[in-house]
Structure 1
């Protein structure tokens, strides 16, 4: 089996996935667009605000009528938010107005209610105001025809609020990558069934599907195949027909029942041993025009492989922020196997980072307390306590 470095495998995976990185646009209702990547610029179809309106509850007046303070003016009406067809404001008068209500013609400022005193049908104004104060002008937020949200924006709540405010009901977003997951192995059974000797529960299907969804792609199916090549081929064919990318786990090593390698290597699949722990055996293929990324079957190997080889691509395709990396001091001495790049499970603390389990690829329960991977170079055999190491956020 070919042997390569982690970086060489990353380059191979990147080349495999590059054709599916830019997905076509699809139109979705605005209520379904949260967390989606906007495909085109969105232009405001109307001014926002659409009309002159009051910024405060108070009184709309002519600023020139406030020459002498205090000024007492007759109240000639009331305008509430949602009122239409307000009559012009006569000189030397005031109209009671609510926040968001349209200003009557002739009014050029609003006096907040806390600066006034009402006596029957008259209002006394105790503070001078100038033209334009507490008045929202049309287009002062965004003008019709101006860019409201740029293409390639990851739509958050604030973007949806602005789009809804100008009356937009649908938007064009990038279609999410459709990913199918296949686990393999005679030993795997679904949770809920009784375990018999030699059997284990299938955790990879759920874990990979959750990882895919958490990183911005759509899970179209989660299937399982035994170690029978004919069965695997049927499951793979169905998955490839529905997906942009197929993820498999298991069946890629050097044993006698490596169903994924046996099926895909004769069809041009590239299977190699990567100098890393966990996650050594890896495979990349193209099946019926669909890229297939084949990960090892041990649960920790599967998850670590996803983190290293697939997570960055999925997040970039979905417009999500890249995974955070940083340097932290180790709380205890760490040893590593020479010739393999180690991705140890770690936990961050106030003092730095500490290893939470051994390097074994079966220690899935030990990952519960981990929040980072500690990235140890293949030429490193020991890191003293207190020395900084590179960590990758899980």
Structure 2
């Protein structure tokens, strides 16, 4: 049985990112939120586009005002008023100033702006009551960004700030990586859909909904294949369909050692190479990871599909997705930093226990208390079958092998991820 770290390394090394030439598409900027930039972006525009004022006040020549003070104000003639969006018409001459507003173009001849609170206006003249610094409140052309240099690198996730930059750069369309395709199905005779009335012994298939949400949150396309009964022929047909249409396949259930757990046998029969069959973690011990050397895909792909056979219990599904599948989706999807999971050490408010035999994951919430993050364990049973207390959790505390107790107030490793990034 593999350690979690060894399993994570094996899985991560199976993944090749999407091809930046073949696996891209052009999208409208309004549709770019959350997408991964496929090529670096440059702009023909300088930022700022021209010298402009950072303050309402008066554009002046520094040599005219470098000795100004309240006791000896400098008296200048106002020759022009320059609101934002207006092109100045005059060049300032000695003894002249221009009324100027925030964002407006600095006129020729001016090199400094005096804020209006440091002036006194009298009709068409203004008294400068202080000595400004040379260049004060002037935003110089190209001081933020120089035209023709790299504006945004490839491999970043586009969010509001990047989209604003692209809009300001007049990029109405942008090339992004296509969304990874992830096929999802659940296995088990006991499963029913959300619309079916429950009979004794049956349970609703919540895993497919949870996995679809996780896949979409990570920027991928979810291909839903429904519930597959514990029938070898039906499972084989579903897996064949999945690997010909997806980059990643996720099934839940059917990967343990019971009489009705057929997934591993079917994968062997399809010629898959099974890299992982079990991992020393709790929850999530039964985990199958496989690849296929002979497959057909209608869309070119940089590699064979990766198959994840996750456990059937709801908590185990979510934990194994966060730990193993999420980094694969992010790396495959073109994230420049590779998508490896990040951990941080925080103080645990609660006592955390484990039997120490396997790496143990305990779910809860991160809270910011007096500027310091604390981990709060979710209440109730931490059975892998308890779906209820997973709601509103946003963090996983990790207890290593041979660690049986983390007392309250001690620090614990917390798994960070995109999905669990929101803290309160």
Separation in 1, partners of 2:36, 2:321: 22
Instruction: Identify the match of residue 99 of structure 1 among 95, 102, 126.
Output: 102
Name the residue aligned to 1:322: 341
Q: Counterpart in 1 of 2:30?
A: 31
Alpha carbons of structure 1 residues 385 and 187: separation in structure 2 relative to 1, 3 Å: same
1:180–1:246 CA contact under 8 A, matched in 2: yes
C-alpha deviations, 1:216-264, integer Å up to 9, x for none?
A: 4332435332223333344334433432111111122223332433432
- Map of 1:307 onto structure 2: 322
> In 1, are the aligned partners of 2:53 and 2:139 still within 8 Å (CA)?
yes
Change (3 A) 1:88 1:182: same
Query: Structure 1 residues 282 and 227 mapped into 2: Cα distance closer, same or farther (>3 Å)?
Result: same
After alignment, is 18-27 or 205-214 more displaced? 18-27
1:63/1:19 CA distance change after superposition, 3 Å: closer
What's the TM-score, normalizing by structure 1?
0.83
Q: SS of the residue aligned with 1:230?
A: helix
Between the aligned partners of 2:401 and 2:114, the Cα distance in structure 1 is 71
Aligned to 2:48: 49
Larger CA deviation: 142-151 vs 292-301: 142-151
Q: How many angstroms apart in 2 are the aligned matches of 1:374 and 1:119?
A: 68
The question of whether the paired residues in 2 share the 8 Å contact of 1:315 and 1:322 is answered with: no
Q: Identify the match of residue 363 of structure 1 among 365, 386, 402.
A: 386
Report the Cα distance in structure 1 between the residues aligned to 2:90 and 2:170, rounded to whole angstroms.
27
What do residues 295-330 of structure 1 show as CA deviations (whole Å, max 9, x unaligned)?
121212222222332233334554557332437568
Contact kept, 8 Å, 1:298 with 1:362, in 2: the verdict is yes
Maintained 8 Å contact 1:36/1:155: yes
* TM-score, length of structure 2 as denominator length: 0.78
2:251 aligned to which of 248, 251, 254: 248
SS class of match (2:391): helix
SS at match of 1:100: coil
Does the 8 Å contact 2:15/2:331 carry over to 1? no
Change in Cα spacing, 1:293 to 1:21, as seen in structure 2 (3 Å) is farther
Unaligned runs of 5+ in 2: 296-303
Q: CA deviation at 1:204?
A: 0.3
Structure 1, unaligned runs of 5 or more: none
Give 1:191 deviation, angstroms: 1.5
Shift of 1:205: 0.5
Q: How many residues in Structure 1 have an aligned counterpart in Structure 2?
A: 389
How far is the alpha carbon of 1:21 from its aligned partner? 6.4
CA contact (8 A) 2:186 2:253 kept: yes
From 210, 214, 237, the counterpart of 2:213:
210
Distance 2:346 2:83 in 1: 58
CA drift at 1:37: 3.4
Partner of 1:342: 360
Residue 132 (structure 1) aligns with: 135
- C-alpha separation between the residues in 1 aligned to 2:346 and 2:389? 22
CA distance in 1, matches of 2:392, 2:102: 51
The change in CA–CA distance for 1:140 and 1:377 in structure 2 (over 3 A counts) is: closer
Note if contact 1:209-1:222 (Cα within 8 Å) is conserved in structure 2.
no
Larger mean Cα displacement after TM superposition, 204-213 or 217-226? 217-226
How do 1:65-84 residues align onto structure 2 when only pairs under 5 Å count? 65-66=64-65, 69-84=72-87
Is residue 189–residue 199 contact of structure 1 (8 Å, CA) maintained in 2?
A: yes
Structure 1 partner of 2:286: 281
Residue 201 of structure 1: how far off its partner (Å): 0.7
How has the CA–CA distance of structure 1 residues 12 and 267 changed in structure 2, closer, same or farther, with 3 Å as cutoff?
Answer: farther
Aligned-partner Cα distance in 2 for 1:57–1:145? 31
How do 1:116-195 and structure 2 match up within 5 A? 116-129=119-132, 131-195=134-198
Counterpart-to-counterpart distance in 1, 2:400 and 2:185: 31
Match of 1:14 in 2: 12
**CA distance in structure 2 between the partners assigned to 1:342 and 1:130 by the alignment:** 61
Show the counterpart of 2:307: 292
More helix by share: 1
Q: Which region of structure 1 is more displaced relative to structure 2, 95-104 or 209-218?
A: 209-218
Shift of 1:48: 1.5
Between the aligned partners of 2:149 and 2:400, the Cα distance in structure 1 is 50
